[in-house]
Structure 1
Amino acid sequence: MLDDTDRRILRQYQTDPEMAASDLAGRAGVTGSTLARRLARLRAAGILRGVRGVIHWPSLGYEVAVSLRVTLDKTQPRAFDEFLAAAREVPEVLEIQTFLGQVDVRLKVIARDMAHYQELYRGALLTLPHIADIEALMHVAEVKGQETLPL
């Protein structure tokens, strides 16, 4: 799987993915060609899935974040598939997670303000198919939002 060199590369890469390749190679203690070969292998294996921009949504005017816990009507054979397909179409739904247990799906939703959230809730979210129960949890503060792994 991963050896110590791969872990060093990933540890340095996740701290600053925009770092120049020569700097990354130096910090990881490998040559530039070794770095390129290792990164290509990590990408091909699906371990390193790319670089992405992390946007601070409040800076763009999205002040409200809500976690919706949804229980679906599981008497309908296609309830999950149809719900998930419809939820993907709502632009303000940032995350969709499925679970085993009482709650079937969790949606992370953002809105500009409470009026916008109410409009989304009534017009787009409550109309999603096969909802048996829905619970809204208002985001108050992010205590830990780490995306790096302890490698």
Structure 2
Amino acid sequence: MDSDIDGLDRIDRKILTILQADGRITTTELAERIGLSATAAAERVKRLTRDGFIVGYRAELDPARIGRGLLVFVEVLLDRTSPDVFDAFATAVRRAPEVMECHMVAGGFDYLIKSRVRDMAAYRRFLADVILALPGVRETRTYAVMEEVKTFDRLPL
């Protein structure tokens, strides 16, 4: 591992690792775990936030408990690949709260969409009402997740 990744020292990386695992940790407990005073730990967290390494905090919810137990990935192929079609598609996707993630990709299709829905009936409605209504959509392929083998949103440092 690099000793200095974008200005991060060993302690900064440790802080970021700890905060990724537990964003609600107290400053006192964080300070104890990294071997600094509470004031020094708080100052480092402020700097990491100010410098854009920490971009927010959130609660992680259980998808099944809130009626979003089925995870689906949808490949989207557009009818044309031009800047105006890309822009219209991206604008519409950003407005669709049902779309958790959307990535433009290189390869045999244009976008990969991630969404969570209640069940297959809900997915069918999502496909018809949201995905196929997006501008420029020519074709889709859906992959319903049968088992989440590894879900990890923490970045290795």
Q: Which of 40, 43, 49 lines up with 1:43 in the alignment?
A: 49
Q: Which 5+ residue runs of structure 2 have no aligned equivalent?
A: 1-6
Provide the alpha-carbon RMSD of the alignment.
1.5
Q: Which 5+ residue runs of structure 1 have no aligned equivalent?
A: none
1:32-60 CA-partner distances (Å, limit 9, x unpaired) = 12112111111111111121111111111
Q: Is the 8 A contact 1:99 1:105 kept in 2?
A: yes
Distance across 2 between alignment mates of 1:83 and 1:18: 36
1:25: Cα distance to partner? 0.6
- Give the structure 1 partner of residue 135 of structure 2: 129
AA aligned to 1:37 is: E
- Superposed, which structure 2 residues align to 1:45-124 within 5 Å? 45-124=51-130
Greater shift, 106-115 or 22-31, is seen at 106-115
- In structure 2, relative to structure 1, the CA distance for the partners of 1:41 and 1:81 (3 Å cut) is same
TM-score, normalised to structure 2, is 0.88
Q: Moved runs in structure 1, 4+ residues, more than 4 A?
A: none
- Give the structure 2 partner of residue 146 of structure 1: 152
TM-score, normalised to structure 1, is 0.91
Aligned length: 151
Distance across 1 between alignment mates of 2:128 and 2:94: 17
User: In the alignment, is residue 18 of structure 1 matched against residue 1 of structure 2?
Assistant: no
- In structure 2, relative to structure 1, the CA distance for the partners of 1:75 and 1:22 (3 Å cut) is closer
Distance across 1 between alignment mates of 2:13 and 2:110: 35
